[in-house]
Structure formats: structure tokens, C-alpha cells
Structure 1
Amino acid sequence: MLALLEELVNIDSGSYDVAGVTRISTRLSGLLADIGFSIKRLPVPERADLVTATLRMGGQGRLVILGHSDTVWPAGTVAEWPYTRLDAERATGPGVGDMKGGLVMALFALRALIADGFNGLESIRLILVPDEELGSANSRPVIEAQARDADVVLVLEPGRPGGGVVSARGALGAFFMKAHGCSAHCASNYAKGASALRELAGKVVELDGLSDPDNGAIVNVGVLQGGTARQVVPGEARMDIDLRARTDAQAATLHAAIERIAADSRDERVQVELSGRLTRPAFTGERNRALVALAQSVAGELSLPIFEAPPAGGGSDGNFTAALGIPTLDGLGPVCHDICSRQEIIELQSLVDRAALLCGLIRQLPSLLSQGH
């Protein structure tokens, strides 16, 4: 497991790096094909292919396992921050937890189940998404088409420190403002200039003011860029906005407020364009109670710590399957800390522990489904 983890982490596979993402999915596809899975590559506009690996069995119930081949880290990251064992218990590197550790864990869990003769389900399908870190905006229709007939979905996003799993997530949105003004030299022709950057900068406080984190509402201006030189009134500027909400209704309210702020012009000479949308629907834990209970039972048999984490502010592709009404349990990957940061760390023992948890869950799914859950 450690050898494969190091190999995958040392492949740059940022979402926009089509070649790198393809290398990850190709490597995993080959290993899955070796244990009997049928591989399909499905095109995704402007991204690497989405890959499905399907194994037909003789039992009842269709399981989908959701994973992704991309990371948040652009090409060139590995050269300066490669996979590194920090000590006997921890490792770091780009995507070591989110989610290359989860992919390694799932592969070895499936390999162990098949070697042991498990065939209790009708099928297992592992989906490798190429653009999850971008909100899966381009691949969402493919994900939904490939998962729509599933009875259960298990998601390989990192486990929470202490052994948490995720049964509910909030809604997400990604929005982009572009401002078009008029550039001019600030000394010789200041009055002619119409600052696109000033127009957007004036909106930052209003947008940030929409946040109410105690109630699950966050609007974050993560990028504000504009201008070409210090002595030039900036004629162009852009802003990237992230939205998080506890419910779909709350997300819709925040979306409307962002639209209002975009339309409220301070300088009529500057045109502001707003693009983007709500990218992931919220899902609650009601449909997932039986899966949580099963995970707790399996963890108890294995003497592993487990708890149901509070509804997550971050999204995953599980948001889509849960919105389709499919019981979905998330956060089943290895235990990780500080994901999507330079401090991202995986607890190495959890590769084995959580693989055992995943094996136990899959083994018990036929019994759970026969009870009508």
C-alpha cells in the first residue's frame, strides 16, 4: 500500500493537468482490470476522461464507490514537495490524503474481498472523477448517469481525525465576477480612467458580510485580481467567490444576494459580469442512518474508533448521489489532517484500518439491502 501511495502522490494530477489525471486513472484502471473489473473511459468536456471500473457478481444490490483522480495541486508541485515519510506513522505530499490514500485503500480492500471469494452483490462500480476539486461541474452529468441505478454509494473522501465518517453535507457554489472599465495613465489622464479593480474591491466587504458561519453560511472572496501596472488605472479585474450553505434554501438566498451585489454599480462606466452557479446540492443524513449504524457496527467488531461527524461544509460527489435519493456514506477514506494545504498529512495505519472498515461494510451490504434499507 505504501509503495503505491508514494507512486501516486509523486504524479502531479491537478484538475487542469489532463495528462497527470489520466496517468492516475490509467494506473488504477490497470490494477483494477487485473482483479476482474471492466474498464470504461467516458469523455468529460475540457477535462481528463471519467473512468468507471465495474465488477459483475452473482448477488443482489448495486454498489457505487466514488473516488477522484485529481488534486488541488498544479503541475510542478511534486518537484518541490514530493511524498515524504515524516515518521513511522505519518506521511505528507500533494494529495496524499485527498484522495490518493483513499484510492489506494479502496483498491486493496477490493482486492482482498475478491481474493476471499466475496460475490454477495450484483455489482460493484468504482468511479474515478477527473475534476472533483473543481466541483465536478463538467463531469456531473456523467457521474449521475453512472450512479443513478445504485442502491448504495460509498465515498472515499478522507476520514475525519479520530475516525469520523460523513453522512450529511451542505450546498456549495462557485461564482466569478469580471469587471470591464477603462484603463488610463493615472497622472496624465486620470479622469478618463474607470477602475475595474475599484469597482470589485468595493464589493468585497459586502460579499464577506453575507457570511454567518455559526449558521452554516459562508461567502468567501478567494481571489481578487486586476490591473497591469502601478501607474495605470486598471481597466480589467476579476473576483472568484466561494459559497457554502447548510441547506439548498440558504444557498439560494446567498446566490440572490451575490447577484444583487454584482448588479449594484458604483461607477456606471464599469460593466460587471457575474457567472458561475450553485455547484453541489445539500444532503441531509436521514436516508443514511442505516449505513451509519452499519459502519459503527463493523468498526466495533474491528475495535476501530468511529463517529458521525457534524454536517460537512465541504462538498463531494456524494452530494450528487444523495440528491438522487441514494443512501450515501462519505468520509470513508484514511484519516487525514489539513487536507488541501501544505500541511496535508495521512495517518498511515489508517490505510489498513479503514480498508478493513470498507471491506466489512461491503460484506454486510447484501444483508442490509435485504432488510429494505
Structure 2
Amino acid sequence: MTDITHYAARMEQELPSILAMAERSVNIDSGSYMAEGVNAVIDIWAGMLGGLGFAVERRPLPGFGDQMTARLALGGNGPRLLILGHADTVWPAGIAAEWPFARIGDRITGPGVGDMKTNVIMAMHALKFLLADQALGGLASITFCVVPDEEIGSPGSREWLEAVAREADLCLTLEPCRPGGGICIGRGAIGAVYLTATGVTAHVGANRDNGASAIAALAALVGPLEALGDPANGLGCSIGIFKGGEARQVVSGHAEMHVDLRAPDDAAAEKLLAEVRALVARPPADPRVSIAFRGGFTRPAMPTLPGTLSLYGLAEGFCGELGIPVFSVVSRGGSDGSFAARLGVPVLDGLGPITHDTCSRREQVEVASIVTRGAVLAGLMAAASEGRVQT
């Protein structure tokens, strides 16, 4: 039977190694479009997984880092376990030099420290002692995937992840645990729409009537698009980027708008996208302006399956034994776990350490939670091996 306090003690022993590897990984710039940096992070992680006996396969994704699939056959009669993580961050080149890994009291900070470099390292160290203790022999196999383009929605990785998920019976995803102990049992759908307007340039003084403003055409859409959002019901339509123009004294010939879409389920996502398309399809006030539409919903909703609730119930019990808080969350944020859940694979998400202010310069991980949340993750893997998870 799973001894969660023993696993916490083992995680405590692994903590210095976890922090050292986290420092190495965090101090590498690995924004989604920085293939070299993403691969440098994956080099570190692939080395550890290979040392644990995993067969590591890396497939280049053009314009990004590698898609890493690490497989370990265990030969048990139990489930095929899938673990999902990512190596990319939201941060630009040079950020690691400006904001390097640091420990400040009982927390660590740095770009991507909790989303999700420490999380992946925590999981690998949990696997290290579980395999050494022969605690996972009941599993048929473990597949550990590291995604290079997760922070931009995994557009190049979805097909690969869905193929891997079709060969799995349950999935543990390493997004950060919420402050206060929130573990994710469901997620909404997420999308992105890119609007590009093309107008006619002209000098605003000498030839104003010869111009057709691309900026004006998109500006007319700001209010109607934002009005489609209904946060109380999980709907979001938010304009995050709006830029355009050539010069102050020139009627703009180009403008673009990036729109973030959120919906509580796939049906609501389809309806919201149709409403966005209908607004954009209306002819601009100046017929000389054209608007091009690109994008849609990139991540499906993550349904709360019976197996998900089984996993959460186990996690809740482990947290109780350790005396740490836990609560369930249905999140509006995105995760690669949604691809697996959409195919009917039970997914539990938010299994990394507790992270504050994710994707901000204030991002911090509670060091103590690396031990306790790592123990919970280890407990879930061991419980799956013991046949205690409904799949």
C-alpha cells in the first residue's frame, strides 16, 4: 500500500539535486521560438530519463525545439501511464541574465521556474526513487512527453500528443499547483484569432481622401468583440495586441489584432467562434479596407471524467495524510492535458509544486511544496501501479 510519508521523505532527500537541476534549467533562455535554448533544456532532462532506463526519442519541430518522447516498458498488467510536461517558456531572449534563478527564503524564482521547469525535474526525481524501489512494476508502461511549443498553444504538437494519448490509459500533467493547493480536474477551451487589415496609405494632410485606414477598420471591432465575453459564465473574448500604422502623418495601410478566446466547453467555443466570425465578416465602413481572419480554438475543453475524479480522490487523500491543503479547480487556463482528456483518457492536472504569479516577473515556487507535491505525484503513480485508479 502507498506510504505517502515515506515518499515525502524520499523527495526531501532528492531536494538538493532537484534545486541544482532547476537552477541549470531555469538559467537557459527557452522561449517557445528559441529552438536552441529549448533543446538545451531538453538535453538535461533527456540525460536524466535516459539514465533511468527510458528510451528517448527526439523529433525536431520546424521553427521550434524537439518533441521528446521517453518510453519505459515495465511489463505489468496495469495501466499505461502518460506524463506531460513542456520545456518552453513565455519569456524573451536575455531574460535569464536579467532574472536568474534565485532562492529567496522559502521560495525560488526565475523565468519558467514554476511553469514548468521545476515541475518536470520534480517528476523525474519521483520516478527515480519509485523505480529504484520497484514501486511501479504493476504499470504496463510509462511515456513521458516534453513539448517544445506549449506556451503558444502547442500548434505543432497536437497531432503528436493525440497519437501518444491514444496509447495511454491515464495521464498526469505537470502544470503548477495553485496557491493554497489547487489541483485541476477540468479546463475550458482556448483559442486565438488573428485579424489583419489592409487599407490604403495616404498623407493625412495633402491626400486624406485617397487613404483608407486599416486601424480605423479594426478599431470599430474592439467594442463588439470584447462585448462577446461573459466572464461569469466562462466566456472570454479579449484583445491582447492591437498594432498598426506606418507613421503619425500617414493613413494606416496595415493593422493587426490578436484576440484571445475562452469558453467553458467545446459547444460554447463553437458558438463564440461563429459570433466572432460574423462580426469580422461585416464590411468595413470604408470598402477599400479588407480584413483577413486566421485562427480558431486551438485547445479543446478538458472534461472531468470519472477517472479524473478517481485520481483526484487519491490525491486528496494523500494531501490529508501529509497535512497539506488541497482543492479542485476547473481552470480557464490551457494545458496539453486537454488533448488527452478529449480522447477519453482520465487526466489530472496541476500536479507541479505550488507556484505564485505564474508567467510574471514575480513567479515563485514554494520550496516545501516540491517535497509534498512531489510525494503526491509519486503516490499517484504508485497507486496506478497498485490498480487503485479507475481508468
Range class of TM-score, shorter chain: over 0.9
Residue in structure 2 matching 1:161, options 167, 179, 188 = 179
Partner residue of 1:147? Answer: 165
Give aligned-pair identity as a percent.
48
Deviation at 1:192, TM superposition (A): 0.8
Deviation at 1:249, TM superposition (A): 1.2
After TM superposition, list the pairs within 5 Å mapping 1:276-315 onto structure 2: 276-287=295-306, 288-309=308-329, 311-315=330-334
Partner residue of 1:267? Answer: 286
Deviation at 1:329, TM superposition (A): 0.3
Structure 2 residue 109 is matched with structure 1 residue 109: no
Structure-2-length-normalised TM-score: 0.92
Structure 2 residue 74 is matched with structure 1 residue 54: no
Partner residue of 1:251? Answer: 269
Taking the aligned partners of 2:66 and 2:299, their CA distance within structure 1 comes to 20
Residue in structure 1 matching 2:366, options 342, 347, 351 = 347
Taking the aligned partners of 2:390 and 2:259, their CA distance within structure 1 comes to 42
Deviation at 1:289, TM superposition (A): 1.2
Count of matched residue pairs: 370
Check whether the contact 2:310–2:390 (CA below 8 A) recurs between aligned residues.
no
Partner residue of 1:97? Answer: 114
After TM superposition, list the pairs within 5 Å mapping 1:224-243 onto structure 2: 224-243=242-261
Partner residue of 1:16? Answer: 33
Partner residue of 2:95? Answer: 77
Deviation at 1:56, TM superposition (A): 1.2
Taking the aligned partners of 1:366 and 1:19, their CA distance within structure 2 comes to 36
Structure-1-length-normalised TM-score: 0.97
1:177-206 Cα offsets, whole Å, 9 max, x none, are 000001111111111111101111111111
Secondary structure at the counterpart of residue 219 of structure 1 = strand
Structure 2 residue 196 is matched with structure 1 residue 178: yes
Partner residue of 2:14? Answer: none
Taking the aligned partners of 1:220 and 1:268, their CA distance within structure 2 comes to 26
Deviation at 1:26, TM superposition (A): 1.2
Per mean C-alpha deviation after superposition, the further-off stretch among 37-46 and 132-141 is: 37-46
Partner residue of 1:337? Answer: 356
Taking the aligned partners of 2:246 and 2:96, their CA distance within structure 1 comes to 31
Taking the aligned partners of 1:68 and 1:243, their CA distance within structure 2 comes to 22
Deviation at 1:229, TM superposition (A): 1.1
Secondary structure at the counterpart of residue 97 of structure 1 = helix
Taking the aligned partners of 1:189 and 1:48, their CA distance within structure 2 comes to 48
- Give, as a single letter, the amino acid of the residue that structure 2 aligns with 1:81: W
Taking the aligned partners of 1:86 and 1:330, their CA distance within structure 2 comes to 27
Structure 1 residue runs of 4 or more that deviate by more than 4 Å after TM superposition: none
1:7-34 Cα offsets, whole Å, 9 max, x none, are 1111010001111111111110011111
Deviation at 1:372, TM superposition (A): 5.1
Structure 2 residue 111 is matched with structure 1 residue 66: no
Taking the aligned partners of 2:327 and 2:293, their CA distance within structure 1 comes to 40
**Backbone CA RMSD of aligned residues:** 1.2
Taking the aligned partners of 2:368 and 2:341, their CA distance within structure 1 comes to 30
Taking the aligned partners of 1:372 and 1:342, their CA distance within structure 2 comes to 39
Partner residue of 2:11? Answer: none
Check whether the contact 2:165–2:343 (CA below 8 A) recurs between aligned residues.
no
- Give, as a single letter, the amino acid of the residue that structure 1 aligns with 2:314: L
Secondary structure at the counterpart of residue 175 of structure 2 = coil
Taking the aligned partners of 1:234 and 1:327, their CA distance within structure 2 comes to 50
Deviation at 1:292, TM superposition (A): 0.9
Secondary structure at the counterpart of residue 288 of structure 2 = coil
Q: Which runs of 5+ in 2 are unaligned?
A: 1-17
1:117-162 Cα offsets, whole Å, 9 max, x none, are 2222111111000100010111100111122110110000000111
- Give, as a single letter, the amino acid of the residue that structure 2 aligns with 1:299: C
Partner residue of 1:39? Answer: 56
Taking the aligned partners of 2:249 and 2:101, their CA distance within structure 1 comes to 44
Structure 2 residue 208 is matched with structure 1 residue 190: yes
Secondary structure at the counterpart of residue 360 of structure 1 = helix
Taking the aligned partners of 1:266 and 1:128, their CA distance within structure 2 comes to 47
Taking the aligned partners of 2:146 and 2:169, their CA distance within structure 1 comes to 18
- Give, as a single letter, the amino acid of the residue that structure 2 aligns with 1:222: G
Deviation at 1:45, TM superposition (A): 3.6
Taking the aligned partners of 1:274 and 1:359, their CA distance within structure 2 comes to 45
1:259-285 Cα offsets, whole Å, 9 max, x none, are 111111222110000000110111221
Deviation at 1:335, TM superposition (A): 0.3
Taking the aligned partners of 1:241 and 1:368, their CA distance within structure 2 comes to 44
